[in-house]
Amino acid sequence: MDLSRHTDLKTITQVYEDYEKQRKGESHRPHLGGSQIGNTCKRALWYQFRHAWSPTFSGRILRLFETGHREEDRLIKNLRAIGVKVWDRDPETGRQVSFTAHGGHFALSLDGVLENVPDAPETPHTFEAKTMNGKSFRAVVNKGVQETKPVYWAQCQVGMLLSGLDRCLFMAVEKETDKIYGERIHLDRAEAQGLIDKAGEVIKATTPPLRLSDNPAYFECKFCTYFPICHGCKIPEVNCRTCAHSTPSMGGDQKWTCALHGNAGEACQDHLFIPPIMPPDLSVQEAGNGWVEYLDADTGEVIRNQGNSADLFEGRMK
């Protein structure tokens, strides 16, 4: 009898650990992503754009993400096999076809651009591919993308508007059965423009937008990546984007400017947290030139944030 079959093998553990190792340093995008702009909470989007908190995923989940990316390539192969012309890379860059807005701070990459789609051979389409579990897949089949997956629908809308096309072919694969769902989505120009305007509001906001709910038990809040800093007691990450001195430049190339040093890059010794970004149990008591004092409601302690004094909050960091 092979006892190793009935235990957790180090081999599997190390495979998952390798995924986590490869993930380190790649948790933040330089831009606000079009794949997330359909999120109903602007505050969560603002935290994402400001690199306020790094989401953490297990190695198994990271491998699952990789499976989704591999399915995109498989669907593209399927489409080409039936005569659809697919452009999944920009010939000039060799990367995914992508578009930007708001000084490059908002960006979206397409899974592809299609021609000769059998259902509308004369109409070019953008292309979006997803994988889903059985429950989500059945919901999409019964009610469509807009009603059941509004974030995906928003991604399709923005992709069409930025690319200048008015049709999108959305395809989803059910993980358990390998069934394929397809839906041709029409451009809703007003909705798409509204989403791009929403991205601009988030990018240009100097303080966090209102919470989706002030109740930490609210369903969407409880499962949000940014719960620890929005409703919890954790301190945001130290970087230029969480600093009161930096702002995104609208000049292009995703640049940031610093009121003290010109160009913003990595956090320096003058880093000062944007006061409203701090967790709810820290209230501003007093502030001056280059410093802010906070009262900790739990301990009664007064903490002075000055000259990158993030070490004072070390117990609240991840």
List the domain range (segments joined by +) for residue 295: 235-316
Q: Rounded to whole angstroms, how far apart are CA atoms 57 and 260? A: 36
* Domain-located, residue 57: yes
pLDDT at site 316: 62
Across the beta sheet with 262-263, what order do the strands follow? 246-248, 256-258, 262-263
315 pLDDT higher than 70: no
- Shared domain check, 124 and 272: no
Instruction: Let me know if residue 211 belongs to a domain.
Output: no
Q: What is the rounded CA–CA span in Å between residue 38 and residue 41?
A: 9
Residues 28 and 164 grouped into a single domain:
yes
Residues 149 and 86 reside in one and the same domain: yes
Same domain for 179 and 240, yes or no, is no
Q: How far apart, in Å, do the first and last CA atoms of the chain sit?
A: 43
**How far, rounded to the nearest angstrom, does the alpha carbon of residue 306 sit from its chain's CA centroid?**
30
- The pLDDT, as a whole number, for residue 310 is 60
Mean pLDDT value across residues 87-105: 91
Residue 239 and residue 104 in one domain: no
* Residue 164 identity (one-letter amino acid): G
Question: Do the domain assignments include residue 292?
Answer: yes
Q: What per-residue confidence (pLDDT) applies to 21?
A: 85
Residue 188 has pLDDT above 80, yes or no: yes
Check whether 24 has a pLDDT greater than 90: no
Number of domains present in the structure of the chain: 2
Of residues 253, 259, 208, 252, the one with CA closest to residue 229: 208
- 71 and 184 share a domain? yes
Whole-model pTM: value is 0.90
Q: What is the DSSP string of 113-179?
A: EEE-BTTBTTS-EEEEEEEE-HHHHHHHHHH-HHHH-HHHHHHHHHHHHHHT-SEEEEEEEETTT--
Position 24 in a domain: yes
Q: How confident is the model at residue 3 (pLDDT cuts 50, 70, 90)?
A: low
Q: Are 96 and 185 in a shared domain?
A: yes
Confidence of residue 28 (pLDDT cuts 50, 70, 90): confident
Residues 52-64 have a mean pLDDT of 88
Residue 281 lies in a domain: yes
**Three-state DSSP state, 2:** coil
Q: What is the CATH number for 200? A: 3.90.320.10
116: region left, alpha or beta (phi > 0 left; psi from -120 to 50 alpha): left
Same domain? For 32 and 156 the reply is: yes
Instruction: Please tell me the predicted confidence (pLDDT) of residue 265.
Output: 74
Find the helix or strand (DSSP H, E) in which 191 lies.
helix 189-204
Domain-located, residue 1? no
Based on the domain organization, do 145 and 256 belong to the same domain? no
pLDDT in tens, 117-154: 999 999 999 999 999 999 999 999 999 999 999 999 99
Model confidence at 258: pLDDT above 80: yes
- Is the same domain home to 167 and 55? yes
- Name all contacts of 12-18 with Cβ < 8 Å and 24+ positions apart: 15/59, 15/63, 16/58, 16/59, 16/60, 16/63, 17/59, 18/59
- Asked if 168 and 295 sit in the same domain, the reply is no
Same domain, 62 and 169: yes
Asked whether residue 218 is domain-assigned, the answer is no
